[in-house]
């Protein structure tokens, strides 16, 4: 009565067959604590964890209880097998209704909004031949029906026009490329109804290029007005090597219908502060359930896993995991501490500047506030050899230097972080340089 996969072909079971399996066999496939994806009430699949597997006859149709990562325990649900996804599970077809079987509706393909793309824009495009993204430039965006599936013509940086190609949104990485269906939903997937109602505030003047844009500042104002009578607060501290950021947010009572708006906004504000100031640890103090929701969200597999995995690199200690803890008293939170860095405001003399971008190196030579030289030099940011990058930057800088009689100062910028000790702790500009080589040479 046990089902097993053979070879590389997944076994597909119809519900009528699956129903004949003993619950003992089911228990062999699912264990408490197992990570998987489960279908939420909005029809989308989200990261979840198995809480309980029942062998009761009353639970035959939905024998697995799951907890959605980043959500409260009140959202835990008993699920049927066809609403669970895991590599350890056989694929189960959804049960057909009694009587005449209805035709299955085809999944609606993602619709891209290309209105934000313009000629000359830089982007990254997937090379089908190599399976990697490379720098490219948009040549034109077609509105013709004949180009509906691939309406964007791109030019590969560093290649001739003969290599230009028509591509679709599934191969383009650009902040100016949007999903039409995402705008229609009115908020990101997984956003609780209470958060949508309180935080998605339409601006007075609608941005023509992003009509679905809802500024965080407007949502925050609306929330604070709604929570003005709240007596409880969620407070947190974000510690870093040379300081600590603090914040206090009034929150709804844990039994209030809008409490999920509190935990959702707190997650967004913490994320904002993390990228403003960096952090190696998050310390929370406040209502227990809200603190637990935030802690799960800022854990591996949670809603903010990207921040959790990025911060160790940003802070310069990739071997030390991002930590989240909860304290009972506000007095136990680390004190706020800032270490302002004084920067010179004098731009006189002869100065060089460079900016490292994903597709080019920008260099500028300035003498007494007058720009004497400015140029963008293309380079291959995907090259794994740090010597290539060093030589490319130095060559571009030397060309700019030739426009000046001398050099009094040099300034530069790149996507990354500089520590209080003026050390380049992390840089996103060299994605293919191995970590050990980066640490030694970059």
pLDDT tens digits along 136-187: 999 998 877 778 889 999 999 989 988 899 999 989 988 788 776 443 345 5
- The tokens 């197992």 sit on which residue? 34
Q: How far is CA 176 from CA 179, 210, 230, 239, 356, in A?
A: 10, 9, 39, 33, 20
Q: What is the pLDDT of residue 20?
A: 41
339: which 2 tokens? 């270490």
DSSP conformation class of 194: H
- Looking at residue 397, its pLDDT comes to 95
Q: What is the DSSP letter of 343?
A: -
Which residues neighbour 414 within 8 Å (Cβ) at sequence distance 6 or greater?
355, 356, 427, 428, 429
Task: Specify the pLDDT at position 214.
Answer: 92
Percent of residues, the chain, with pLDDT higher than 90: 40
Helix (H, G, I), strand (E, B) or coil at 282: strand
User: Residue 189's pLDDT is what?
Assistant: 57
- Given a cut of 60, is residue 93 above it in pLDDT? no
Following CA atoms 8, 12, 18, 24 in sequence, which dihedral angle do they give, to the nearest 10 degrees? 10
Measure the CA–CA gap between 64 and 201, rounded to whole angstroms: 38
What span, in angstroms and rounded, lies between the C-alpha atoms of 414 and 354? 9
Q: List the beta bridge partners of residue 337.
A: 244
- How much is the pLDDT for 180? 66
Per-residue pLDDT at 317: 84
- Residues 231-261: tens digit of each pLDDT: 999 999 999 988 999 999 999 999 899 999 9
Output 10 or 423, whichever has higher pLDDT: 423
How much of the chain is helix, strand and coil, in % rounded to 5?
A: 25, 30, 45
pLDDT tens-place string over residues 269-309: 999 999 998 999 999 999 999 999 999 999 988 889 999 99
Residue 262 in 3-state DSSP? Answer: helix
Alpha-carbon gap, residue 425 to 423, rounded angstroms: 6
Spell out a b/e string for 121-158, using b for 16 or more CB atoms within 10 Å of the CB, else e.
bebbbbeeeeeebbbbbbeebeeeeeeeeebbbbbbbe
Name the DSSP class of 28: H
Q: Does the pLDDT at position 90 exceed 70?
A: no
Task: State the average pLDDT over residues 382-397.
Answer: 91
Distance CA 285, CA 249 (A): 11
Tokens 């007095």, residue? Answer: 331
Q: Identify the helix (H) or strand (E) that includes residue 441.
A: helix 435-441
**3-class SS letters over 126-149:** EECCCCEEEEEEEEEECCCHHHCC
Are 176 and 115 a contacting pair, CB within 8 Å?
Answer: no
Rounded CA-CA distance 287/289 in Å is: 6
- pLDDT tens figures, 202-220: 999 988 888 889 999 999 9
């Amino acid at each position: 009565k046990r089902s097993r996969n053979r070879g590389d072909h997944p076994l597909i079971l119809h519900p009528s067959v699956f129903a004949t399996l003993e619950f003992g066999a089911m228990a062999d496939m699912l264990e408490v604590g197992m990570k998987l994806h489960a279908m939420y009430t909005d029809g989308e699949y989200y990261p979840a964890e198995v809480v309980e597997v029942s062998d009761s006859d009353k639970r035959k149709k939905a024998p697995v209880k799951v907890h959605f990562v980043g959500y409260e325990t009140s959202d835990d649900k008993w699920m049927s097998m066809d609403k669970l996804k895991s590599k350890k599970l056989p694929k189960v077809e959804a049960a057909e209704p009694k009587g005449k079987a209805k035709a299955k509706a085809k999944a609606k393909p993602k619709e891209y909004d290309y209105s934000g793309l313009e000629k000359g824009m830089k982007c990254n495009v997937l090379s089908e031949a190599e399976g990697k993204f490379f720098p490219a430039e948009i040549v034109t965006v077609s509105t013709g029906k004949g180009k509906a599936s691939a309406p964007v013509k791109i030019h590969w940086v560093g290649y001739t026009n003969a290599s230009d190609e028509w591509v679709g949104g599934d191969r383009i990485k650009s902040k100016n490329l949007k999903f039409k269906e995402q705008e229609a939903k009115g908020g990101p997937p997984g956003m609780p109804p209470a958060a949508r109602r309180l935080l998605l505030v339409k601006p007075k003047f609608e941005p023509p290029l992003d009509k679905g844009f809802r500024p965080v500042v407007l949502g925050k104002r609306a929330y604070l007005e709604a929570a003005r009578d709240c007596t409880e607060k969620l407070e947190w501290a974000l510690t870093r090597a040379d300081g600590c950021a603090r914040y206090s947010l009034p929150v709804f009572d844990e039994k209030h219908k809008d409490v999920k708006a509190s935990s959702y906004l707190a997650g967004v504000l913490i994320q904002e502060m993390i990228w403003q100031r960096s952090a190696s640890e998050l310390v929370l103090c406040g209502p227990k359930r809200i603190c637990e929701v935030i802690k799960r969200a800022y854990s591996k597999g949670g809603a903010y896993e990207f921040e959790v995995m990025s911060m160790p690199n940003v802070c310069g200690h990739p071997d030390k995991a991002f930590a989240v803890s909860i304290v009972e008293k506000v007095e136990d939170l680390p004190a706020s501490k800032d270490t302002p860095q004084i920067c010179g405001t004098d731009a006189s003399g002869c100065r060089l500047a460079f900016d490292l971008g994903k597709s080019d190196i920008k260099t500028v030579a300035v003498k007494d506030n007058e720009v004497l030289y400015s140029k963008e030099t293309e380079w291959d940011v995907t090259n794994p050899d740090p010597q290539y990058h060093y030589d490319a930057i130095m060559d571009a800088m030397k060309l700019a230097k030739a426009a000046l009689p001398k050099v009094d100062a040099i300034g530069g910028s790149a996507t990354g972080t500089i520590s209080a000790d003026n050390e380049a702790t992390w840089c996103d500009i060299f994605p293919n340089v191995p970590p050990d080589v980066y640490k030694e040479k970059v």
